Structure 1
Amino acid sequence: MSILSFEHVSISHEGIPTLTDINLSVEAGDFYYLIGRTGSGKSTFFKSIFAELAIDEGQAQVVGYDLATIKRKDIPFLRRKLGFVFQDFQLLTDRNVEKNLSFVLEATGHTDEAEIKSRIEDVLARVGMSNAIHKRVHKLSGGEQQRICIARAILNKPQLLLADEPTGHLDPEVSLEIMHLFKELTAQGTAIIMASHDYNTMRQIPGKFLKCEGGKIELTAGI
């Protein structure tokens, strides 16, 4: 079964038809760049995947859930199987790294303190930030904060990771480090869809391309 399967899907945003006739299949380990101008519908597409926006037409399955018929009570369970990396980090700046990560686990139903500690140590090691566990978020550089965002995104071992301009505010060297980390995740089976305008990085890190334009999302040969 595909991790994501859209067949003839149409989506509206605030009552306005935004995307039409989307046909896409995403498998474990796939890496897609989502490209397109600001306002072309990339955010609408992401919001439909985690069921913030409803599907108007077509068939849409994500990590085993039917987006056309999903019940409100099931949406948190859908989102537990997804990871999100935001451009603006959205970290809790009044807390340290450990508290930022434990907050996510506790909010998604984890109560075993030993398991929480083990998961946090594991994801920090994977992003090369083990030594930052007790640091306050506001003391970290932009690149370090983005690594913490990625650690947060993979806490629940997501099948699909959505990244919205994750290298938008980072220097080229740090951007490449983040991208290499993403490729490691795909090698371990996580599928990733990354919205980006960072064409320099895209040229260096191979992936498939989806272009969002004119209300459509279609596979394209590249940038």
Structure 2
Amino acid sequence: MAEPILSFDQVTILQEGVPTLQNVSFQLNPGDFAYLVGKSGSGKSTLFRAIFSELPIEIGMASVAGFNLNQIQKKEVPFLRRKLGFVFQDFQLLTDRNVEKNLSFVLEATGHTNKAEINTKIEEVLAKVGMSNAIHKKIHKLSGGEQQRISIARALLNNPVLILADEPTGHLDPEVSKEILMLFKELNQQGTTLLIASHDYSTIRQFPGRYFKCENNTIQEIAGV
């Protein structure tokens, strides 16, 4: 059986000495399509920050994408993050640049120098999210749903083993939210593992997966929402 992409075993996450999440134990396996649900302030963002090593793991054992989060050194963190893709609620795109420049910026920042390879990669990810025709469009000319598709393309650039999406439909209307979840499901069927934080229950019920609930300072797997 394949190694888990993410494994937390009795993890407690401290912020300024105060436990924010306690006794967290769960695993994500290659190909999982999972949701993280819970009220605002319940610890969803805390978990994400721990996964990409912004918050240290001092109690319990945790690993992500082959990295031991208990022992990870500062110089290793960029290599961990290259194995992860991030999709944000507010897109976090560079609005003064076009789509191509947004994506090439990420590739160049993560060490890619071959222009032909950069162009090929950009074309590949835009095709995956159905935005090939937008390559030369300025970000501010795109709708919210289109901007989120570009942010998903950006998350795919370095062939991540896991995509973390933090409330990716939070600023989108119900129909567009459904399109974004449908896109995530298609990417998952192509082999991408996803963990999506959301409280958009009406949309996520249409695209079932595994469900983990942040509640009472811990995380438990639940049957549904």
What TM-score range do you get, normalising by the shorter chain?
over 0.9
Per the alignment, residue 88 of structure 2 pairs with 86
Moved over 6 A (4+): none
Q: Report the AA paired with residue 145 of structure 2.
A: G
Structure 2: segments with no counterpart, 5+ residues = none
State the 1:222 CA deviation: 1.3
Residue 116 of structure 1: aligned partner: 118
Could you tell me which amino acid in structure 2 is paired with residue 96 of structure 1?
N
Q: 2:177 is matched by which residue type in structure 1?
A: S
Residue number among 20, 23, 30 corresponding to 1:21 in the alignment: 23
What SS class does the counterpart of residue 112 from structure 2 fall into?
coil
Question: What secondary structure sits across from 2:214 in the alignment?
Answer: strand
> 1:106 aligned to 87, 108, 127, which one?
108
- Asked if the contact 1:13/1:44 (under 8 Å) is kept, the reply is no
Q: Is the Cα contact below 8 Å between 1:28 and 1:186 reproduced in 2?
A: no
Alignment deviations for residues 96-115 of structure 1 (CA, whole Å, 9 cap, x no partner): 00000000001111111011
What's the CA shift for 1:88?
0.7
Helix, strand or coil at the partner of 2:60: strand
Report how far residue 216 of structure 1 moved. Answer: 0.5
Stretches of structure 1 lacking an aligned partner (at least 5 in a row): none
Normalising by structure 2, we get a TM-score of 0.97
- Once residues 66 and 170 of structure 1 are traced to their aligned partners in structure 2, the CA distance between those partners, rounded to angstroms, is 36
Number of aligned pairs?
223
**Corresponding residue to 2:170 among 168, 171, 196:** 168
In structure 2, C-alpha distance between the alignment counterparts of 1:189 and 1:15, rounded to whole Å: 38
> How do 1:22-101 residues align onto structure 2 when only pairs under 5 Å count?
22-101=24-103
Instruction: Compare 185-194 and 81-90 and name the one that shifted more.
Output: 185-194
TM-score computed with the length of structure 1 as normaliser: 0.98
Amino acid at match of 1:62: V
- Correspondence list, 1:118-197, <5 A: 118-197=120-199
Equivalent residue letter for 2:118: I
Look up the SS of the partner of 1:20 in the other structure: strand
| Offset at residue 14 of structure 1 (A) | 3.2
